Amino acid sequence: QTVVTQEPSLTVSPGGTVTLTCASSTGAVTSGYYPNWFQQKPGQAPRALIYSTSNKHSWTPARFSGSLLGGKAALTLSGVQPEDEADYYCLLYYGGALVFGGGTKLTVL
Amino acid sequence: QVQLVQSGAEVKRPGSSVKLSCKASGGTFSSNAISWVRQAPGQGLEWMGGIIPMFGTANYAQKFQGRVTITTDESTTTAYMELTSLISEDTAVYYCARDSDVSAFEIWGQGTVVTVAS
């Protein structure tokens, strides 16, 4: 049973920078896992933010960036805005199977 | 504009089955994968399985093997997900999500609430 682990919760001040991470129980996350990141606000469907580690969708704000960091996938928010308060999920690809991380609840305070 | 419109809320008895639909409009239906993801109340996202319509063979998460069937109808550009032997723990919002040519899960449906209760 593959497990993808994210920080359960993080708090950041408006204008600050925060990094969310995504780890795999199978070992280091590489670009071959095609990490994706999604944002979900209460009562809404998830929204795609980042695909294939670091690629942004046309609607993804410039303050969001994806990378690999220390064997994990990472999502960095620079210059956090109040509207960034949400749940964030990573998704990893395991050769035909996909696994979501447990999600990170980001509080902007 | 690519859009996914899902069927309406369902209330089911334990032991019964549910079949949800997800109609796609815009884009290329046949070559882009469609996945089903569920979210139990207050919980995270869980991938159930996916299918590329032109190939017709679905992949399923191990947890749902034998209990879920994902199909598509290319003539109506609609995907379906049937879940059998329902239990209360299947109560959740069920989403369909569609890949684009370059990225996974780019477009999401609005979600369908399924409630399993006696």
Q: How many residues does chain B have?
A: 118
With contacts defined as CB-CB under 8 Å, which chain B residues touch A51? 102-104, 106
Chain A residues in contact with B102 by the CB 8 A cut-off are 51-52, 55
Residue A77: closest CA among A42, A41, A106, A34: A106
HEC sequence for chain A: CCCEEECCEEEECCCCEEEEEEEECCECCCHHHCCEEEEECCCCCCEEEEECCCEECCCCCCCEEEEEECCEEEEEEECCCHHHCEEEEEEEEECCEEEECCCEEEEEC
Average pLDDT, chain A: 97
Whether the pLDDT of residue A96 is over 90: the answer is: no
What are the residues of chain A with a beta carbon less than 8 Å away from any beta carbon of chain B?
Answer: 1, 34, 36, 38, 40, 45-48, 51-52, 55, 57, 87, 89, 91, 93, 96-103
**Lookup: tokens for B20:** 């949800």
CA A11 – CA A76 distance, rounded (Å):
13
Q: Is B90 helix (H, G, I), strand (E, B) or coil?
A: helix
Q: Are strands B112-116 and B10-12 parallel, antiparallel or unpaired?
A: parallel
| Structure letter (DSSP) for residue B57 | -
Other residues' Cβ atoms within 10 Å of the Cβ of residue A106: 21
Q: How many residues does chain A have?
A: 109
pLDDT at residue B1 greater than cutoff 90: no
Model pLDDT for residues A68-90, shown as the tens digit of each residue: 999 999 999 999 999 999 999 99
Are B95 and B36 in contact, with CB atoms under 8 Å apart? yes
H-helix or E-strand containing B11? strand B10-12
Whether residue B103 and residue A96 make contact (CB cut-off 8 A), yes or no, is no
**CB-based contact B44 A89, cutoff 8 Å:** yes
- Chain B residue numbers touching A93 (CB-CB < 8 A): 104
B42-71 as b/e, with b when 16 or more CB fall inside 10 Å? eebbbbbbbbbbeeeebbbbeebeebbbbe
Judging contacts by C-beta atoms under 8 Å, the chain B residues touching residue A103 are: 44-45
The proportion of chain A whose per-residue pLDDT surpasses 90, expressed as a percent, equals: 97
pLDDT of residue B78: 97
Tokens 């569920």 belong to B38
Q: What is the DSSP letter of B47?
A: E
Query: Which residue reads 């070992």 in tokens?
Result: A27
Could you say which of B44, B109, B111 has the minimum Cβ distance to residue A100? B44
What pLDDT, on a 0 to 100 scale, did the predictor assign at position A1?
87
Q: Enter the DSSP assignment of B65.
A: T
- Averaged pLDDT, B13-31: 94
CA-nearest residue to B37 within chain A is A100
For A45, which of B50, B106, B109 is closest by C-beta distance? B109
Residue pairs spanning A and B at CB distance below 8 A: 63
- Please report which confidence band the pLDDT of residue B87 belongs to, taking 50, 70 and 90 as the band edges: very high
Is the pLDDT score of B28 beyond 90?
no
State whether A48 and B62 contact (CB < 8 Å): no
Question: Could you report the per-residue pLDDT of B40-61, keeping only the tens digit for each?
Answer: 999 999 999 999 999 999 999 9
Find the CB nearest A97 among B59, B102, B106: B59
